[in-house]
Structure 1
Amino acid sequence: MENGKIRPDVVSYNTMIKGYCKAGKTQKAMELLRVMESINLEPDKITYMTLMQACYSEGIFDSCLALYHEMGEKGCEVPPHAYSLVVGGLCKEGKCLEGYVVFENMIRNGLKANVAVYTTLIDAFAKCGKMEEALELFERMKTDGLEPDEVSYGVIVNGLCKSGRLDEAMEYLRFCRANKVAVNAMFYSSLIDGLGKAGRVDEAQKLFEEMVEKDCPRDSYCYNALIDALAKCGRVNEALMLFNRMKDEGCDQTVYTYTILISGLFRERKNEEAMKLWDMMIDKGITPTAASFRALSIGLCLSGKVTRACKILDDLAPMGAIPETAFEDMIYVLCKAGRVKEACKLADGIVDRGREIPGRIRTVLINALRKAGNANLAMKLMHSKIGIGYDRVGSIKRRVKFRILLEI
């Protein structure tokens, strides 16, 4: 009792903190922690773990890490799950080395890591391009008496495929088959993607078909990986057949699926088919991404339909789907294709729309000409008033147009 009032204890605060966290009001829960400190009421392990779990779930990894350090500073017992949350949060942010330090602290404090913690770290190292370190951790896990599961093997295979070490990845597939380790769709999609990118498309296709024999359901990732491989090696008709099979098997045709095919169709000069797919995507209510618009705009520019690309760009602008480099990409691809006149016309159109400051477009065009090997025109543009200077016709002041570059 204090002044006739019952003073709340740690259990009371923990109940309130848990309630706020469940209601998604993590900030309010954090404020209660500070209130506890202000009245000299020590938070316990449950207080910190409740808050750490909420912060992790909401992706507030900095707060999760800060709470972990605070527990240590206050001499509060740090349970294994707290280490798992911190390692997981750091790894999600690509901070594999920092995650490894926390992992080593856990071991030093007499706690044993589980397969999930090891797998998280292995995945993070692989994604950071540190494949040797990932493989060392994988072996250390086995030395510690832990049996890798299908997810552990999956992240190792994914890392090897991304590193171009496909033969080693295939060895792991053979090992898993021989030792009855489950091979899931993620495992297969990594191999299909890796083989496809290496030009080993027939092998990728064989694995894709094998999934049916092994009763492994194919997901969108598997389909997209093989469709991408087929489209990039010019087998776009086969890619389209797979696209239709996706629907039959109940797999989502994602914006990425459409982007791959639109790009592949434009490469094969099947422009109208590419546009039909674009319209189909929009009709299905799939929001275009920056990558999908880039595939469309570059394809249209190379097929001489710059005006159509600009019209679609105008239509998409309110949706926020236009990449910052949309015009830069279009100007660059036109210059690279030797269509400098169209690039200049596009640059003038951009300035006339008031979309970009003229100096920015001028720099883009200079760089595009230079990268396309047209250094003479780049130098002419650099030393001219085009795009940034003005000419007077009587009393009228007009910006010098980019298109006069070809008349100089």
Structure 2
Amino acid sequence: MNRSPANQTLLKSISQSLIKRHHFSTSNPSSLQTIPNSRTNSLISPLYNLLPHTQNPNKIVDIICTNLKERKSTLLDKDMIPHLGTQEVSRILLRCQSDSFAALTFFNWVKNDLAFVPTVHDYCIMLHILAWSHNFSHTMKLLSDLIELNKSKPDKVSIFENLIICTKDCSWEPVVFDMLLKAYLKAGLVRDGLITFRKMVKLGFAPKIISINFLLDGLLKVNRIDECWGVYEEMGKIGIRGNTFTFNILTHVICKSEDIDKVNKFLEKMEEDGFEPDIVTYNTLIDSYVRKGRLKDALYLYNIMYIRRVMPDLITHTSLINGLCKEGNVRDAHKLFHRMVQIGLKPDVFSYNTLICGYINKGMMQEARALLHEMIKGKVTPNDFTCLVLIEGYRKENTLISAVNLIVELKKFGILVPKRLQIDLVVALCRVDKPFAAKSLWERISQDGKEPNLQIYDELIVAFCKSNYVNEAIQLKDEMLFKNIKPTLTTYSAIIRCLCRLNRTAEGEFFMRDMVEFCIHPDATICRSLVSGRCKEKNLNEAELLLTLFAEEFQLLCNECYNEVFKAVCEEGDINRSMEFQNRMQRIGYTPNSLSFKYAIDGLFRTAA
């Protein structure tokens, strides 16, 4: 940033204007200096001159400056500290302008050791001293501290205006305003950064292009697209030429603004300014075209790159492969992939994943698997996403066994599929009635150090029982107990229902007693299964005992179970037995309903016949 004589004159007039306003508002709550000073100014009294020099409050500035110059560790006697006020702090900083180390030592002593909050004015003097001495690292740190301190105040002040005011009394470098702009953006205060930029331009300063690039990038990230172009227009007015980074940021702006038709004009403008679009520019535009479904335009730019001797890189090809795959043109995508290899580019995992996804979306699992083998052969290690899309592809094609084989095959190559994907596959196999494959895969996972968990055991047991492989389910339940995993209601319910379905109701009752020992109460589903099983066996006495047990022990009165037994009793045609059964059930809480009366009437008809 240049400081011309005209700029100095303009700055002087604005500085004086701000200073007048600053002095006028010192008694006003909206004063620029709103960070309070808890200390009172020293009282100037002739009597103090009778004291020794080191104890004279009138000499406090001289004492501290001398001690700083001599690099003394103690800057001031404790008794003198209450006489140190805002005016003294500013005077000492101004007298230390030529010694930034001494000024910073004093400033930190005031701020840290005395717990005395310097004013914004003091901060700005210190910033000018550091910037003048080219101590930029400390300048940026102090700017960050001041911004953080200022933004937490309810009555924020203008740091920029305070920096201008301080230029009247101390040496300064325009770079401090650039640094303020960057410090705002670093703190995420894009709006404050934009305001600072506009104030700099208004005063006639020409910010450095690197600072403007920071601003453009910040505006882009918060989606303030129009203001990006506003900054770019201001650059032209004050004669600042952009660089490659500027144009690449603006390329992102164009892509984000949805106005892709501006691209050609923008590229021409770049060339007029002497900047050839580079690989970043083209990649940004191609990616934007692909995301917006304008593949022809993206391929056109790809050909233009060769004409302008900008060699497409891996990112360029991957973007185009992605675009071709999205349109379902996997064959052309694979041709472009081969072309990329032929010009000497080594595909990475992202390139492979993009093409694999294209094949999977077309249901071409064999081609996707072949590409995986090619990937491994080329020493490109598949990542979690590779495994995920392949397994999901097999799930989509309802060929989960192929997914299991894939996991086994990858393990042989030393590639471990993430445990969460394998566990999800175990669950999926259970839910498509492939319990043996699920169990086999789970055993492999367990061998790798994965502790078996309750959810997977329940899924396996339910799957085995659903397919009537109850003995395998019982083995898994025993394995759970061996591994100190407590079975759940789901575990027992699946086994009991399967046993009853297989006419092994007595074993089902045994498991019910077993679950009660684990303090797991049976539910209505288990009740219906056991009662139904006994009714199918024509063992009505046992069925009645079960009804009584569920009512008295578990307070479970299932009318559906009661009606099933009552129906079986009525079908025997013994009306007396039916009435006696009904009376016994009513005494323990069962209430007949309309279906019960229907069964009773049907029984009477059978007796009459």
TM-score by length of 1: 0.61
How far, CA to CA, are the matches of 2:294 and 2:348 in structure 1?
A: 24
Which letter maps to 2:196? N
* Offset at residue 189 of structure 1 (A): 1.4
Partner of residue 89, structure 1 = 186
SS of the aligned residue for 2:432 comes to helix
Question: CA, structure 1 residues 50+122, in 2 after alignment: closer, same or farther (shift >3 Å)?
Answer: closer
2:186 counterpart of 1:102: no
The structural deviation recorded for 1:239 is 1.5
Q: Indicate conservation of the 8 Å contact 1:227/1:242, yes or no.
A: yes
2:274 is the alignment partner of 1:195: no
Whole-angstrom CA distance in 2 between matches of 1:357 and 1:207: 56
Partner of 1:406: none
Question: Structure 1's 358 and 252: CA in aligned 2 closer, same or farther, altered over 3 A?
Answer: same
Matched, 1:239 2:239: no
* Range with greater deviation from structure 2 (260-269 or 109-118): 109-118
| Residue correspondence of structure 1 range 24-63 to structure 2 within 5 A | 45=130, 49-50=136-137
- Supply the distance in 2 between the matched residues of 1:288 and 1:67 (Cα, whole angstroms): 48
Partner of 1:169: 263
How far 1:146 sits from its partner (Å)?
1.7
- How far the C-alpha of 1:134 sits from its partner, in A, is 2.3
Helix, strand or coil at the partner of 1:261 = helix
Q: CA shift at 1:258, angstroms?
A: 1.3
2:353 aligned partner, one-letter code: T
CA shift at 1:322, angstroms? 4.6
Report deviation, 1:217. Answer: 2.0
Percent of aligned pairs with the same residue? 16
- Distance (Å, rounded) in 2 between the aligned partners of 1:134 and 1:321: 45
Q: Which residue of 2 aligns with 1:265?
A: 359
Q: Secondary structure at the match of 1:218?
A: coil
- Structure 2 CA distance for aligned equivalents of residues 159 and 142 of structure 1: 17
Does 1:141 pair with 2:228?
A: no
Q: Structure 2 matches for 1:303-382, cutoff 5 A? A: 303-309=397-403, 322=418, 341=432, 358=455
The change in CA–CA distance for 1:246 and 1:120 in structure 2 (over 3 A counts) is farther
Between 79-88 and 199-208, report the one with greater CA deviation: 79-88
Alpha carbons 1:68, 1:82 under 8 Å: kept: no
Unpaired runs of at least 5, structure 1: 15-32, 56-62, 363-386, 400-408
CA contact (8 A) 1:52 1:85 kept: no
Deviation at 1:260, TM superposition (A): 0.7
How far apart are residue 207 of structure 1 and its match?
1.2
Whichever residue aligns with residue 213 of structure 1, its letter is I
Aligned to 2:225: 131
Task: Say if 1:70 and 1:263 are closer, same or farther in 2 by CA, change over 3 A.
Answer: same
Given that residues 352 and 375 in structure 2 are in contact (C-alpha distance below 8 angstroms), is that contact kept between their aligned partners in structure 1?
Answer: yes
Aligned partner of 1:220 in structure 2 is 314
**Structure 1, residues 256-313: CA drift from partner, whole Å, max 9, x if none?**
2111111001122322221233344345554544543433332232233434546767
Report the more deviating stretch, 161-170 or 63-72. Answer: 63-72
CA-CA distance at 1:213 after TM superposition: 0.8
Distance in 2 (CA, whole Å) between partners of 1:7 and 1:321 is 65
Instruction: Name the aligned partner's letter for residue 137 of structure 2.
Output: T
**Structure 2: how far apart are the matches of 1:64 and 1:279?**
55
Counterparts of 1:320 and 1:70, CA distance in 2: 50
Partner amino acid for 1:248? Answer: Q
For the 8 Å contact 2:235–2:241, the answer to whether it is kept is yes
Once the 2 structures are TM-superposed, how far is the Cα of residue 244 of structure 1 from its aligned partner?
2.2
CA contact (8 A) 2:248 2:281 kept: yes
**Aligned equivalent of 2:176, options 72, 75, 79:** 79
- C-alpha deviation, 1:197, in angstroms: 2.7
CA distance in 2, matches of 1:274, 1:201: 23
Deviations 1:107-135 (A, max 9, x none): 54765422222233323333433322322
Q: Comparing 102-111 with 243-252, which one deviates more in the overlay?
A: 102-111
Deviations 1:206-242 (A, max 9, x none): 2101111101121222111111111111222222222
Do the aligned residues in 1 keep the contact of 2:349 with 2:381 (CA within 8 Å)? yes
C-alpha deviations, 1:47-71, integer Å up to 9, x for none? 9733688x9xxxxxxx983476579
Q: Is 1:196–1:226's contact at 8 Å kept on the other side of the alignment?
A: yes
* Structure 1 pair 286–39 and aligned structure 2 pair: CA distance change class (3 A): farther
Query: Which amino acid is 2:136 matched to?
Result: M
User: Could you tell me how far apart the structure 2 residues matched to 1:144 and 1:329 are?
Assistant: 61
Write the letter of the residue equivalent to 2:391: S
Cα separation, partners in 2 of 1:344 and 1:164, compared to 1, 3 Å: farther
Partner amino acid, structure 1, of 2:144: L
What is the TM-score when the length of structure 2 is the normalising length?
0.44
Secondary structure of 1:217 counterpart: coil
Pick the aligned partner of 1:65 from 130, 144, 152: 144
Q: Which moved more, 1:107-116 or 1:349-358?
A: 349-358
- CA shift, 1:173, in A, is 2.8
Partner of 2:21: none
Q: 1:137 to 1:240 in 2, by over 3 A?
A: same
State whether residues 107 and 113 of structure 1, in contact with CA within 8 Å, keep that contact through their aligned partners in structure 2: no
Match of 2:568 in 1: none
**Kept after mapping to 2: 8 A contact 1:100/1:121:** no
Residue deviations 1:305-331 (CA, integer Å, cap 9, x gap) = 434546767978x9898597x589989
**Pick from 251, 256, 267: which aligns with 1:157?**
251
Aligned to 1:251: 345
Q: Secondary structure at the match of 1:146?
A: coil
Post-superposition offset of 1:254: 2.4
Per the alignment, do residues 265 and 70 of structure 1 end up closer, same or farther by CA in structure 2, a change over 3 Å counting? Answer: same
Q: Please list the CA deviations of residues 346-380 of structure 1 after superposition, one character each: whole Å capped at 9, or x if unmatched.
A: 99988997688749x99xxxxxxxxxxxxxxxxxx
- C-alpha contact 2:182 2:193 (8 A) present in aligned 1: no
Decide which moves more: 69-78 or 186-195. Answer: 69-78
Bigger Rg, which one = 2
